Amino acid sequence: MIDLTGQVALVTGAARGIGRATAVALAEVGAAVVVTDIARQVDGLTYGTATGDDLASTVAAIETAGGRAVSAVVDVRDHAALVSAVEQAESAFGGLDIVVANAGVASWPTSTWQATPEQWQTMIDVVLTGTWNTCRAAIPAILRTGRGGSIVMVGSTAAVKPLPTIGHYAAAKNGLVGLLKSLALELAAASIRVNAVHPGGTGTEMTQNPAAEHWQATAHGVAGALELPMPIHRMEAIDVAYAVRWLCSSEARYITGAQIVLDAGATLQ
């Protein structure tokens, strides 16, 4: 049985969706969790990002499950804010062992080459630079404990198979793969493992909103499947959370530099 008692986790984008499910799943098996999120609208997006109430609901869900959590409003584009959240983990819970770099955004241009510079930049800033910021803020604290740790990046099947029209998203998620491979080797001697999960279509507010649904309905004329049909039913956030939790556990103690494709078989086709 997975037991993370005594460990401290920090999750980005934890106010809802996959981030919330992961934070609660980690807390259920004993981890104390710092839940972070931008908790306001990200400029330029055509769907709503999480609110302060959403972030408070994650803390409440953890406490209801008998766990311990504190929250921090953090934009992953802001390295200093991430450093403050890491300091909060150390002062509230005595260290940092687990980091889940989950925060992400979506946008749906007509085609990749027609994405606006703002769509491109926001994607790279949040998904790729935000993950790098999360790692560089957290790694010194994990090293300070001297007991190793686990970093999990939430990628996407966009890093596994081509996704026409959202190449900016694919570029950012593919960028994470290069980052995780370098970090996995650099940090192995300190027993810090670095892995990714690549979810396929998962039922969250990122995929269940009018802008995403319009994309699903209209972009299928472009060569190549868009959202690849799943051989088994659409996944929920908890399914991703369980894989992340397993990667953070001692059961995965020799797994580093790995990418778990979690897509109900979609990319097999």
Ligand X SMILES: NC(=O)c1ccc[n+]([C@@H]2O[C@H](COP(=O)([O-])OP(=O)(O)OC[C@H]3O[C@@H](n4cnc5c(N)ncnc54)[C@H](O)[C@@H]3O)[C@@H](O)[C@H]2O)c1
Indicate which residues carry an active-site annotation.
169
Residue-wise DSSP of 80-144: HHHHHHHHHHHHHHS---EEEE--------SSGGG--HHHHHHHIIIIIIHHHHHHHHHHHHHHH
3-class SS at 264? coil
Closest to ligand X by CB, 15 vs 184, is 15
Residue (of 38, 40, 34) closest to 8 by Cα position? 34
* Residue in this structure with the two tokens 């979506």, named with its chain if needed: 106
**Binding span for ligand X by CB under 6 A among 69-77, 90-98, 217-225, 249-257:** 69-77
Residue 132 tokens read as 């790098």
Q: Which of 76, 115, 138, 141 binds ligand X (CB under 6 A)?
A: 76
59 binds ligand X (CB under 6 A): no
Pairwise CA distance, residues 195 & 252, whole Å: 10
Which residues make Cβ contacts (< 8 Å) with residue 103, sequence separation at least 6?
Answer: 12, 13, 19, 36, 37, 38, 76, 126, 127, 130, 134
Of 165, 204, 249, 256, the one binding ligand X by CB under 6 A: 204
The phi, psi pair for 265, rounded to 5°, reads 85, 5
Nearer to ligand X, 121 or 145 (CB): 121
Can you tell me which of 8, 10, 17, 128 binds ligand X, judged by CB under 6 A?
17
DSSP state of 268: G
Q: Evaluate whether 132 touches 179 at the Cβ level (below 8 Å).
A: yes
Nearest distance, CB of residue 156 and ligand X, angstroms? 4
- Which residue in 75, 123, 133, 141 binds ligand X (CB under 6 A)? 75
CA distance 180 to 20: 22
Q: Which stretch binds ligand X (CB under 6 A): 61-69, 100-108, 184-192, 246-254?
A: 100-108
Tell me which stretch binds ligand X (CB under 6 A): 10-18, 89-97, 113-121, 185-193.
10-18
Please count the residues of this chain forming the interface with ligand X, following the rule CB under 6 A: 32
In the complex with ligand X, the residue whose CB is nearer, 95 or 130, is 130
Helix (DSSP H) and strand (DSSP E) numbers for the chain:
8, 9
* Stretch of residues binding ligand X (CB under 6 A), selected from 35-43, 86-94, 142-150, 180-188: 35-43
Is residue 151 involved in binding ligand X (CB under 6 A)?
no
Task: Give the x-and-dash track for 153-192 against ligand X (CB under 6 A).
Answer: -x-x------------------------------------
Residues that bind ligand X (CB under 6 A): 12-13, 15-19, 37-38, 42, 49-50, 74-77, 102-105, 126, 130, 154, 156, 199, 201-202, 204-207, 237
